[in-house]
Structure 1
Amino acid sequence: MSGNDRLPAEERRKWILDKLKSLGVPMTGKELGELTNVSRQVIVGDITLLKAKEEPIIATSQGYLYLSEQNGPNKIEKTFVCKHASEKTEDELNIMVDHGLTVKDVRIEHPVYGDLSASIMVSNRQEVKDFIRRIDIANAVYLSKLAEGGIHMHTVLSDNEKQIADAEQALKNAGILLE
């Protein structure tokens, strides 16, 4: 798109969908808004409508991501149950990404709300650092702090079982994996 061109809503949503599909990496609402000459809030509404049409778009800590084959079915998925102090969150995530894993989400069982989850989608140390920085800037609380006893789960994606086994052993060695 260029200049001050504004697409009609349906065309804009198709453009957003095509853009997210072709990228394969997250893109923020602000970036999408700038490219389509609308506000970030308009993009949030567009994404909500696309999700309602069952498009596999998730909101990650880096932006919106279209879940394609490359980050889905061909990957091995595993859930780790963890417990540690908040100060160890960066170490925990770095252990997983250092072993070639993508940390897809964090999930907890909240005493009032039940199951809560948040998409993380980090796969390298820079993404972990950016995630931690955004938590700090927002003065946000880690989801694990809302869980009884700090027990939380991470869904991870991997190319092979060895990466998962090695990460699992490293998390055990660090005293983070709950057994």
Structure 2
Amino acid sequence: MENQERREKILEMLKEATKPVTGTEMAQACQVSRQIIVGDIALLRASGTPVMSTPRGYQLQKNQIDGVQESFLCKHGPEQVEAELNAIVDNGGLVHNVVVEHEVYGFLEGELNLKSRRDVQLYLKKMRAARAPLLSSMSAGVHTHLVETSTPEEMEAVRKALEQLGVLVEDKK
């Protein structure tokens, strides 16, 4: 299978999928390694295809037209990551990303796309397995999350939950 043909097959798999598709599933369907698929996904993104990574696999990004989005500035140590993310998803929030500001590299973003406690658990499991440091470890625990909810009331519930945890520094509008 040629490169372009393979990327078209990947795109078709993503369009037809009703749930995220893992890199391994794509690799098996295309008879290549998972690393080749990772490269293909990067090329699809570079060409403007809205492919997002989730803890369960890849999917096409769907715009939620009626959704509410807000960035929250937070600060805490690694021991509060799970509580922070669960507070967001438990109140109807989708955690799109985590962003930190680095003194040399500028803004660094990690795509999260967490919408449930299960997603949070999968993310934390992958981080532990990879022994990967949190992006916020480069910024003394300071980071932002872009959060999306269906309603302003859900967004307010997310804000209150973060305030109660004591991790909210200030909310950015």
Q: TM-score, normalised by structure 1?
A: 0.88
Which amino acid in the other structure matches residue 144 of structure 2?
M
Q: For residue 4 of structure 1, what is the aligned residue in structure 2?
A: none
Which amino acid in the other structure matches residue 143 of structure 2?
H
User: Does the 8 Å CA contact 2:53/2:113 hold for their aligned counterparts?
Assistant: no
Instruction: Identify the structure with bigger relative contact order (alpha carbons < 8 Å, sequence gap 6+).
Output: 2
User: Does the 8 Å CA contact 1:58/1:67 hold for their aligned counterparts?
Assistant: yes
- In the alignment, structure 1 residue 172 sits paired with structure 2 residue 163: yes
Query: Which piece of structure 1 moves more, 125-134 or 34-43?
Result: 34-43
Distance 1:24 1:83 in 2: 35
- How many residue pairs match? The answer is 170
What RMSD, in angstroms, separates the aligned Cα atoms of the two structures? Answer: 1.5
User: Gaps spanning 5+ residues in structure 2: where?
Assistant: none
Distance 1:130 1:60 in 2: 9
User: Gaps spanning 5+ residues in structure 1: where?
Assistant: 1-6
State the Cα deviation string for residues 73-123 of structure 1 (Å, max 9, x = none). 332111111011111000000000000111010000011111000001111
State the Cα deviation string for residues 16-69 of structure 1 (Å, max 9, x = none). 112112325432222210122111122122212212221111334433221123
Q: What's the offset of the Cα at 1:129?
A: 0.7
- In the alignment, structure 1 residue 162 sits paired with structure 2 residue 153: yes
Distance 2:121 2:39 in 1: 29
Q: TM-score, normalised by structure 2?
A: 0.91
Map 1:114-129 onto structure 2 (within 5 A): 114-129=106-121
Counting strand residues as a fraction of each chain, which structure ranks higher? Answer: 2
Partner of residue 139 from structure 1, selected from 131, 134, 138? 131
Partner of residue 142 from structure 2, selected from 151, 159, 168? 151
Percent pairwise identity: 36
